[in-house]
Structure 1
Amino acid sequence: MSEDLGLWGVPIAVLGGAIRVSTPFLFVSLGECVTEKSGRINLGLEGTLVFGAMAGYAMAYSTDSAWAGLLAGGLAGVLFGVFHGLACSLPRVNDIALGIALMLLGTGLAFFFGKPYIQPVAPDLPAIDFGGWSDIPQLQAALRINVLFLIGIALALVLWWGFRNTRLGLVIRMVGDSADAARAMGYGVNRIRILCTAFGSMLAGFGGAYLSLYYPGSWNEGISSGQGLMAVALVIFARWNPLSCFWAALLFGGAGALGPALQSVGVTQGYYLFYAAPYVLTLAIMIATASPTRSLAGAPGELSITK
């Protein structure tokens, strides 16, 4: 049926793929944006993403409820985030080094505990059919949107508004820009950073559960493909702006969907090279923003990368 649309099948497939692929990018990047706004970097979100995918799939299979699996993925993220936050509060602990250690720990634990769940089939998260008005199967598939994507859009708007217009948002930004100023105002810097890290890791756990419970919709050891690490680069590209994180996530999602889109219209030679598009895009973004005057524009002053 894809051949009936000709070349129009490519943008339609990229549209649908961008929506599906961008959802975990969106949740992880929004979580990391909140964490970094408080002045801390969490490179362990890749491990949190993978462990959240495993925990969510295992819970969904055991309870026959995809929503229970989603909650399990978020809870796993909270536990990783609290541990990361508490450990980083200790003297002479580097948040970047600890994040790498937790990334390895999370993926290792997920692989170990997830082996019994590679074959069993768990229920999927629900999706809304916005393309029911069309008779074109490809357009119907592209407009079949998971509820988490819609929640992610709402969350990006709320965070963008909250950082600008609420007292809580102002406090988080102050902690991220100047810990001394926050302490002088009587705020507990470590407590705020722990809470922000836990919240950010919870969103990464939700993103992992989305991977295993909707797209691709199964649990296996290669489910993430580095999306947690790429999301950290996405936050830098988005200049620590939640709304920009949404558009950047769509861009990364579209890049990830390019290879399957070409395959869907009959391109059988060389299409697999386009599967590397997200990684090439990440590298290009990091090179393009590697300027002493531009690369850290908008970065919270307390981040390790600014010192």
Structure 2
Amino acid sequence: MTTDIGLWGVPLAILGGAIRVSTPFIFVSVGEALTERSGRVNLGLEGTLVFGAMSGYALAYQTNSAWLGLLAAAFFGMLFGLFHGWICKLPKVNDIALGIALMIFGSGLAFFFGKPYIQPVAPHLPAFSLGWWSDVPQVQAALRVNVLFIAGIALAIAASWMLKNTKVGLTIRVAGDSADAARALGIDVNRVRLWSTAAGGALAGIGGAYLSLYYPGSWNEGISSGQGLMAVALVIFARWSPINCAYASLLFGGAGALGPALQSVGVTQGYYLFYAAPYVLTLGLLIATSSTTRAMTSAPGELSITK
């Protein structure tokens, strides 16, 4: 039985979109926040995300286990991060240029190896409903939550606490703020950045696996739509704070659901324009929160984008 809930369908659809769409952004942006807090930028996350989606889907199909697919995506994402971190420590290597090259390389590699898995159906990651209290199908659908969403929120909180309150977090922040000060304290800056980049790559791989193993839940060559690059922009908007990355991801996810939500209640004229809402919102927020004096507030001093 279906129930017409009228205009209430709009906020419900936006809520459901915020939950579903934000999850990969949370993982990728939190991972990139850790990477950038160590003093390195990884623009190759788009390629890592796509390859994670492909490898996770492929292994899930071959083993009939979505969890093994998730682990595979994290593993290959970590390898991409390690490779990026290892190359970047070489003299005269620019991390931004290398990231662009790895973005193209990772995407091309995923498209090459992923062709046999476009049609086969792999198992999906589990989800549970927070709408058990309602008999309305739309409410139950909107409040259906994947386990990775809960894990992503917990990760953002834990990463934020770790950076502020632990020795590991202090080491990462010192390496990102001043390499000379870190070396004076006996910190191996290259090692810190290597493993921070590896952690960011692993989380990007998990974000990719979410796309192929839950929402939209299939593998195809257009699965990412630039989400890896958008997550890098979210890190700047979030002022390099993991917990703010989660907030920004939820905001972006809700904006992305605006077009389909309006269409569901009969708004058909020009609703395609609302599909651009997340991009317009992100650009507007970046402009509104930036100025000649605050543009790089909280940015790690060693980032190449600050020099």
Amino acid at match of 1:217: G
- Segments of 5+ residues of structure 1 without an aligned counterpart are none
**Is 1:69 aligned to 2:69, yes or no?**
yes
5 Å matches for 1:69-88?
A: 69-88=69-88
Amino acid at match of 1:81: G
Q: In structure 2, what is the equivalent of residue 206 of structure 1?
A: 206
- Segments of 5+ residues of structure 2 without an aligned counterpart are none
Q: In structure 1, what is the equivalent of residue 58 of structure 2?
A: 58
Amino acid at match of 1:150: I
The answer to whether the 8 Å contact 1:3/1:265 transfers is no
Secondary structure of residue in 2 paired with 1:4: coil
Amino acid at match of 1:99: G
Q: In structure 2, what is the equivalent of residue 304 of structure 1?
A: 304
Output the TM-score relative to the length of structure 2.
0.98
Alignment deviations for residues 30-72 of structure 1 (CA, whole Å, 9 cap, x no partner): 0000000000000000110011000000010000000011011
5 Å matches for 1:1-307?
A: 4-307=4-307
Q: Which runs of 4+ in 1 moved over 3 A?
A: none
Amino acid at match of 2:267: V
Secondary structure of residue in 2 paired with 1:145: strand
How far apart, in 2, do the equivalents of 1:288 and 1:112 lie? 41
How far apart, in 2, do the equivalents of 1:282 and 1:133 lie? 34
Identity of aligned residues (%): 75
Distance change (3 Å), C-alpha of 1:2 and 1:236: farther
The answer to whether the 8 Å contact 2:76/2:202 transfers is yes
How far apart, in 2, do the equivalents of 1:176 and 1:39 lie? 4
Larger displacement relative to structure 2 (274-283 or 12-21): 274-283
The answer to whether the 8 Å contact 1:44/1:102 transfers is yes
Amino acid at match of 1:36: E
How far apart, in 2, do the equivalents of 1:288 and 1:42 lie? 25
The answer to whether the 8 Å contact 2:24/2:207 transfers is yes
| Alpha-carbon shift at residue 285 of structure 1 (Å) | 3.0
| Alpha-carbon shift at residue 3 of structure 1 (Å) | 7.2
Distance change (3 Å), C-alpha of 1:201 and 1:157: same
The answer to whether the 8 Å contact 1:263/1:271 transfers is yes
The answer to whether the 8 Å contact 1:52/1:209 transfers is yes
RMSD: 1.2
How far apart, in 2, do the equivalents of 1:85 and 1:47 lie? 15
How far apart, in 2, do the equivalents of 1:293 and 1:200 lie? 29
| Alpha-carbon shift at residue 133 of structure 1 (Å) | 1.5
The answer to whether the 8 Å contact 1:60/1:67 transfers is yes
The answer to whether the 8 Å contact 2:60/2:68 transfers is yes
Secondary structure of residue in 1 paired with 2:186: coil
Secondary structure of residue in 2 paired with 1:187: coil
